């Protein structure tokens, strides 16, 4: 039995938690005789797979302030060094107790700008794991397009590659295209053998229809982050702008993630001030199953950012889509890269964050309503291929 310690850094929102549950589900149902997995993630994560070969450890959720590149708690306070040291020690204690054969790190490769923010806990964990087990495999489970390599120097690229070679046996990509990854991470081209696409992360089970109606809605969402208030407000203004058009009969369902619920009253007042409270419904406490059911069966048009979870949800559901990727005042490129790829092949419409106005969004809603998109044909069995690959590198 291969023991896998899977660390999901609890500051990335709900997407990685969904990935963790998909891997747990696949481990329980197809790898029960080969893999025992212990998953470390934030305590507020959604549903959790229960199985003799799947166990869980929970950490206090943190978040990254994308504008200031600081780690913060859920109240917005910057973390102290003492809090960081405590987290690093806790991860080592978990590793010491579990004694894994494989250390699987979510979205960590050692070298990129994001990695530098969490090096304080990941590097000690890697070092301890290697001392504990000289045969341990250290692997990463990475997104298929990266952010942070747009303006780096040759020296920084070299440092990245050396760090990956030093700390990782393999980097498994939530993607089915190594070329797309290399476009956003050029130094990977020097060691393509280290970076292995395993396919996108999606559930094998088709979402169950939950609403007892075939009515269609315009669905607005922005994952689990807390910086989506502008998208929500502009959507409400657009709803008001379209009130007297053919699209005016449709209700807008605005899904608020855990970090966005604090804005609910402000958004209710906002929709009242624009005279469209009867056409805007805020939905909170909706898990991934509820959201996917809406997207699959009751979505007229989806308006969202463009994280990898959105990307795969669109493939699963085939929903018409408008993408406004998060750019954080020009500091983030990952969602933009992904949205540009989707826009270029005609799967969805892209609006740049800096260009979004109610008029532009309204025009885009009308155009999207008139078009029927096709799916991209992505390879969607990433969790199963990941576990197969882990078994493979362990020699079984």
Range of the domain at 308: 217-369
Phi, psi of 142 (to 5 degrees): -110, 155
Q: Does residue 58 lie in a domain region?
A: yes
The crossing angle, in degrees rounded to 10, of helices 308-317 and 288-297 is: 40
73 and 184 together in one domain: yes
- Residue 210 located in a structural domain: no
State the total domains in the chain: 2
Q: List residues bridging with 218 in a β-sheet.
A: 252, 301
Closest CA to 41 of 3, 15, 64, 65: 15
Domain identity same for 167 and 32: yes
Residue 168 inside a domain? The answer is: yes
Do 163 and 290 have their domain in common?
no
Assess whether 150 and 273 both reside in one domain: no
On whether both 16 and 86 belong to a single domain, the answer is: yes
Residue 393: which H helix or E strand, with range?
helix 382-393
pLDDT of residue 369: 95
170 and 287 together in one domain: no
The verdict on 191 and 243 lying in the same domain is: no
- For the chain, the straight-line distance linking the first and the last C-alpha, in angstroms and rounded, comes to 10
Q: 72 in a domain, yes or no?
A: yes
How confident is the prediction along the chain (396 residues), in pLDDT tens digits per residue?
999 999 997 565 677 888 999 999 999 999 999 999 999 988 776 667 889 999 999 988 888 777 777 888 888 899 999 999 999 999 999 999 999 999 999 999 877 777 888 999 999 999 999 999 999 999 999 999 887 787 788 898 999 999 999 999 999 999 999 998 999 899 999 999 999 999 999 888 888 999 999 999 999 998 766 678 999 999 999 999 999 999 999 999 999 987 788 899 999 999 999 999 999 999 998 888 899 999 999 999 999 999 888 889 999 999 999 999 988 777 778 889 899 999 998 899 999 999 999 999 999 999 999 988 888 888 999 999 999 999 999 985
Q: Answer whether residue 32 is part of any domain.
A: yes
Asked whether residue 176 falls in the same domain as residue 27, the answer is: yes
Same-domain status, 290 and 321: yes
For residues 155 and 295, state if they share a domain: no
Does 131 fall in a domain? yes
- Give dist(CA 196, CA 188) in Å, integer: 11
Q: How far apart are CA 339 and CA 187, in angstroms?
A: 22
Distance CA 91, CA 161 (A): 25
Same domain, 387 and 262: no
CA pair distance 192, 282, nearest whole angstrom: 45
Contact residues for 284 (Cβ-Cβ < 8 A; gap 6+) = 256, 261, 264
CATH number of the domain to which 154 belongs:
3.40.50.2000
Asked whether residue 92 falls in the same domain as residue 131, the answer is: yes
2: which strand partners? 35
333/33 Cα distance (integer angstroms): 41
């Amino acid at each position: 039995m291969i023991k896998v310690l899977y660390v999901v850094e609890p500051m990335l929102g709900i997407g990685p938690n969904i990935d963790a549950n998909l891997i747990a589900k696949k481990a329980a149902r197809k790898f029960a005789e080969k893999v025992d997995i212990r998953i470390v993630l934030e305590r507020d994560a959604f549903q959790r797979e229960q199985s003799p070969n799947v166990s869980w450890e929970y950490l206090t959720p943190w978040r990254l302030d994308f504008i200031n590149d600081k780690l913060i708690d859920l109240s917005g306070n910057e973390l102290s060094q003492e809090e960081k040291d405590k987290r690093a020690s806790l991860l080592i204690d978990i590793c010491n107790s579990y004694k894994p054969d494989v250390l699987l790190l979510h979205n960590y490769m050692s070298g990129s700008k994001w990695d530098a923010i969490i090096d304080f806990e990941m590097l000690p964990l890697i070092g301890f794991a290697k001392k504990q087990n000289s045969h341990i495999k250290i692997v990463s489970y990475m997104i298929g397009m990266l952010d942070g390599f747009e303006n780096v120097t040759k020296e920084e690229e070299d440092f990245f590659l050396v760090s990956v070679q030093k700390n990782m046996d393999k980097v498994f990509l939530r993607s089915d295209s190594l070329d797309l990854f290399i476009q956003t991470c050029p130094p990977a081209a020097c060691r393509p053998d280290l970076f292995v696409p395993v396919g996108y992360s999606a559930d094998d089970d088709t979402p169950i229809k939950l609403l007892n109606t075939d009515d269609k809605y315009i669905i607005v969402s922005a994952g689990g982050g807390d910086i989506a208030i502008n998208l929500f407000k502009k959507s409400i203004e657009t709803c008001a702008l379209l009130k007297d058009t053919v699209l005016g009969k449709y209700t807008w369902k605005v899904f608020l993630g855990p970090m966005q619920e604090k804005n609910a009253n402000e958004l209710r007042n906002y929709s009242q001030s624009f005279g469209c409270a009867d056409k805007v419904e805020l939905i909170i406490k909706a898990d991934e199953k509820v959201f996917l059911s809406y997207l699959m069966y009751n979505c007229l048009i989806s308006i969202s950012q463009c994280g990898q979870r959105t990307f795969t949800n669109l493939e699963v559901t085939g929903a018409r889509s408008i993408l406004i990727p998060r750019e954080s005042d020009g500091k983030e490129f990952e969602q933009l890269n992904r949205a540009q790829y989707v826009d270029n092949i005609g799967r969805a419409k892209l609006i740049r964050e800096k260009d979004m106005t109610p008029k532009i969004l309204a025009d885009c809603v009308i155009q999207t309503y008139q078009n029927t998109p096709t799916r991209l044909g992505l390879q969607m069995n990433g969790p199963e291929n990941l576990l197969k690959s882990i078994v493979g590198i362990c020699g079984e």
